[in-house]
Amino acid sequence: MKLFNSWLALYACMSTVSAQMQRTFSAAASEHQAHTLELSTLASEGFTTFSHPAFPGRSARIKKTNFCDGGVASYTGYIDVGPKHLFFYFFESRSNPETDDVILWTNGGPGCSSATGLFMELGPCLIASVNSTKYNPYSWNSNANIFFIDQPIGTGYSYHDIGDLVSTTEDAAQDIAAFVAIFFETFSKFKGRGFHLAGESYGGRYIPIFGAAVYDQNPTLIVKGLTPVNLKSVMIGNGATDFFTLLRSYYDMQCTNAGIGPLVPISACVRMKKVLPRCEQLQQKSCIEHFDLIDCNAAFTFCQSEIGMPYINAGYNVYDMSMKCDGFSCYPEMNNIDAYLNDPSVRKKLGINTPHNYTSIAYDVNGAFWATGDPLHETQQYLVLIYAGSYDFICNWLGNERWTLKMDWPGREAFSNTPLTEWTVGGEPAGKIRQSGNFSFATIYGAGHLAPHDKPIQSLAMLQRWLADEPF
């Protein structure tokens, strides 16, 4: 199994259908007998509900939803787990939906809707205005069937009947793993199909844990007579897998030529240089040798203030060092996505029938995850490959490269001794790549936090080579 991980975006960022509008599909009473559905037979006027007795208390709803890319079949639905309802979009491949692999994509935050990835980065259509979209020729469904999922609960269109929130990645992972198994069993043409988990930013925390949950679930599926999920890779763009390594690299990104050149006064760089050893000591003592939530959070806050704030005070965009603007205000598409997905006609088409408004970023979800210390746990041990936009600051390429080089795994020495070499697209330099065995690290020249948004041609070329298992 080859696992793919990458670095691409941080802090990016309900449906109760009436009984007469629902058609319900129930799996067989025996765990070893599964009823199946065909996507082509699904209705567009209401949801079809499906479940499996191997997963009691879990079900999902899905409907045809013709929008975004008229050239392929598209669907929307909810994953229902008791009072929890996770919204998703699903698009068939533009190439060969009957044989192409399946990708599940999630944005980060925590608390950012995957509609950001869909309508702004790598989806079949991109937001064009507050009430329209446009065709995206570089969509990642060019060669794969793809899910975009609003998770955890409280993100995007996802909701909880009584308002509770999920606050740890481990809890969120169980919902994703169960849904994937139920979906592949119900729509049996996907059984055994190559499956890839992909995400960006806080996806650096989500996706490795989700991958572990899917992989660890497979023996149980086999015992119950179900087909194991063929998890082929994990893909993470500009991920937040090791916050402290990222933080320590902020010094290099704003004070040296590691990014686009020195960006802050020399006096600020001198102060940061003196603080770095203290940050490392605090992290080692409070977060690694013995994790203490209060002390580890204090260490992170201190280091963020001392090493991150000079860059922010200088007025540069944390998602793209080539811009002088404030965060997502640099991207007018964000407001357009919010307006578009809150349009009553769009909500009706998608099957949204709750009073909850769509929002790109759920700050209460973000706060809940930070309150449990979820972002402060390292996740490297699950990862095998990384890519990063060279202009990103907040999840910068240098910090990502550093933790890949220090990660303890059997191929560490061979990987560390492999030099970075240039990879190209159409004969033009696209970035640098280090590959050894199944572990790879890549950069994308000129891309910021949102690599498919900034460099769509190069990002798609990278994905296609990865899916085809071709060398860079």
Is 392 a known active-site residue?
yes
One of 85, 377, 449, 453 is an active-site residue; which one?
A: 449
Return the HEC string of 367-435: HHHHHHCHHHCCCHHHCCEEEEECCCCCCCHHHHHHHHHHCCCCCHHHHHCCCCEEEEECCEEEEEEEE
Is 201 a known active-site residue?
yes
Helix, strand or coil, per DSSP, at residue 8: strand
Give the torsion sign (CA, 123, 126, 127, 131).
negative
What's phi and psi for 394, nearest 5 deg? -70, -35
Is 449 a known active-site residue?
yes
One of 6, 59, 114, 201 is an active-site residue; which one?
A: 201
Q: Are 4 and 193 in contact (CB under 8 A)?
A: no
Question: b/e string for 83-94 if b means 16 or more Cβ within 10 A?
Answer: ebbbbbbbbbbb
CA–CA gap between residue 235 and residue 211 (Å, rounded): 10
One of 52, 392, 440, 453 is an active-site residue; which one?
A: 392
One-character DSSP codes across 70-123: TTS-EEEEEEEETTEEEEEEEE--SS-TTTS-EEEEE--TTTB-THHHIIIIIS
CA distances 387 to 97, 330, 437, 449, Å, are 26, 23, 16, 11
What's phi and psi for 371, nearest 5 deg? -65, -30
**428 class by beta-carbon count within 10 Å (0-12 exposed, 13-18 middle, 19+ buried):** exposed
Residue 88: HSE in the Cβ half-sphere, 13 Å Cα cutoff: 29
H or E element: which one contains 256?
none
CA–CA gap between residue 86 and residue 175 (Å, rounded): 9
Would you please indicate which residues are annotated as catalytic (active-site) residues? 201, 392, 449
